[in-house]
C-alpha cells in the first residue's frame, strides 16, 4: 500500500450552533489541513499521483472555504461547521475530484483549528 500526504491551509470564520460557550460566537481560524491518499498500484511512470496534481485538488477544495463564513455555505446550512464536519466536507470534495484517478482513494483528512487541536475524518 502506498500513502501520500499533502498539507495546505485556509482562513475562515464560523460559529457553532447550540454550543454553550465562546465558540457559539462568530470567530475565525487559520486552519491547517492534512490530506492522506492511498493506493495499491502505481501508474505507468511508477507514481500513485503527482504531488502537484494532489496539491492542486486540495487547493481547489479549500478555495471553497477560504475567507468565507462557513455557516453560509450550502453544505453547512443544516450541519454545524465543527472541525469534524469540515474534515468530512473536504474528504467528500476531494473524493469526488479523484474519480479520474482510479488507483487513488482518500484515506483521511485532518483539520487543525490550532497546532494543538485537530479532527480527522475517514470512511473506515
Give the residue numbers annotated as catalytic, written as ranges: 23, 67, 108
Angstrom distance (rounded) from CA 97 to CA 99: 6
Q: Which residues contact 75 (CB under 8 A, 6 or more apart)?
A: 89
Q: Under DSSP, is residue 72 helix (H, G, I), strand (E, B) or coil?
A: helix
Those residues with Cβ within 8 angstroms of residue 62's Cβ, 6 or more apart along the chain or in another chain: 8, 9, 10, 33, 90
Amino acid at each position: 500500500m502506498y500513502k501520500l500526504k499533502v498539507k495546505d491551509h485556509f482562513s475562515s470564520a464560523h460559529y457553532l450552533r447550540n454550543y454553550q460557550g465562546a465558540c457559539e460566537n462568530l470567530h475565525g481560524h487559520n486552519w491547517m489541513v492534512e490530506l492522506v491518499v492511498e493506493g495499491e498500484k502505481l501508474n505507468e511512470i511508477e507514481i500513485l499521483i503527482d504531488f502537484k496534481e494532489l496539491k492542486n485538488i486540495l487547493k481547489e477544495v479549500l478555495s471553497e472555504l477560504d475567507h468565507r463564513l462557513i455557516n453560509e455555505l450550502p453544505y453547512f446550512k443544516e450541519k454545524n461547521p465543527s472541525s469534524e464536519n469540515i474534515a468530512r466536507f473536504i474528504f467528500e470534495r476531494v473524493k469526488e475530484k479523484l474519480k479520474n484517478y482510479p488507483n487513488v482513494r482518500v484515506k483521511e483528512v485532518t483539520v487543525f483549528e490550532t497546532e494543538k487541536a485537530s479532527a480527522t475524518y475517514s470512511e473506515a
